[in-house]
Amino acid sequence: MVYYDAHCHLQDERLRPFIDETLAGYEELSVKRAVVNGTCEADWSLVTDLANQSQLIKPSFGLHPWFVKDRSDNWKEALVSHLANEEAAIGEIGLDRWIEGYDIDAQKEIFLWQLRLAAEGNRPVSIHCLKAWGLLYDLFKKESLPQRGFLLHSYGGPAEMVKPLAKLGACFSFSGYFALDRKEKAREVFLQVPTDRFLVETDAPDMLGPNQCMYKEIHDAEENQISHPLNIVRIYSFAAEMFGLSEERFATVVAENFHRFFD
């Protein structure tokens, strides 16, 4: 079996002590590709460094809605320079009405600029959305989208939007967080995702799931438990059982989906 992590943040300082064991674990456990998503100007170079360190890393660069207020005057030029790597995806980008003091107009402007950049280059794009699903869908209907589609990472939207979003080209990634007992309704939503649009992610070091989705327990410098990137293998097992598929069949489907979208 081989594994693919559709969305993680290995550049996060909380994972710095675990990078060597993570890259070695990728080799040992047959994790063939991990998409590492930059979120702001300060971490884009760290993503590039990781991609240069290992061919298993697929770099992705974007300005996340949480960091819209911190952007420089030259953020667009900086982003484009990182996208000189033809392998690079765009993301994490998106819309977020959950955070305090959000400026949805600024978020929308920055999101659309990046989405259009992805469409122009037909690049994979990874999208974050919290409490803005109606707005996101309306924007999708008005915009040109990448021919390959787009990824809604850790999809937390309503069930009734799965089919309309899939029709527009959406892929949906499942993280270990949705394996928590209290997330039963979210799992029911994922069961409605077309099998050819389903991907798996860790979102490490975030979106920590229950024990059965943990490869190894780790903590940050403040002793908060965080998600290990190698949790991907356990999340696959959980998701395969959720869909009623053998782990081998499930891994084959996800591999096909990953290559179709990211490659």
Cα separations in angstroms, 199 against 28, 33, 71, 112, 205: 21, 12, 30, 24, 18
Structure tokens at 78: 């900086």
Confidence of residue 252 (pLDDT cuts 50, 70, 90): very high
Confidence of residue 8 (pLDDT cuts 50, 70, 90): very high
Residue 154 DSSP class: T
Give the start-to-end residue ranges of the domains of the chain: 3-262
Q: State if pTM tops 0.95.
A: yes
Higher-confidence residue of 232 and 86: namely 232
Which positions ≥6 away from 169 have C-beta within 8 Å?
145, 146, 148, 149, 150
Parallel/antiparallel/unpaired status of strands 89-96 and 125-130: parallel
Instruction: From 248, 5, 255, select the one nearest 126 (Cα to Cα).
Output: 5
- Can you tell me which residue has the tokens 């803005």? 132
Confidence of residue 47 (pLDDT cuts 50, 70, 90): very high
Q: How far apart are CA 152 and CA 88, in angstroms?
A: 17
Q: How far apart are CA 142 and CA 140, in angstroms?
A: 5
- Can you tell me which residue has the tokens 């989208």? 145
pLDDT of residue 192: 97
Residue-wise pLDDT for 104-119, tens only, equals 999 999 999 999 999 9
Phi, psi dihedrals of residue 59, rounded to the nearest 5°:
-80, 150
Work out the percent of the chain whose per-residue pLDDT is above 70.
Answer: 100
Residue-wise pLDDT for 189-208, tens only, equals 999 999 999 999 999 999 99
Structure tokens at 92: 């994490």
Cα separations in angstroms, 80 against 10, 62, 87: 21, 10, 13
Average pLDDT of the chain is 97
Average confidence (pLDDT) over 82-101: 96
Structure tokens at 258: 């990953």
Helices (H), 122-161: 133-142
Average confidence (pLDDT) over 145-155: 98
Residue-wise pLDDT for 162-183, tens only, equals 999 999 999 999 999 999 999 9
Task: Kindly report the CATH class assigned to 3-262.
Answer: alpha beta
pLDDT of residue 219: 98
Average confidence (pLDDT) over 13-34: 98
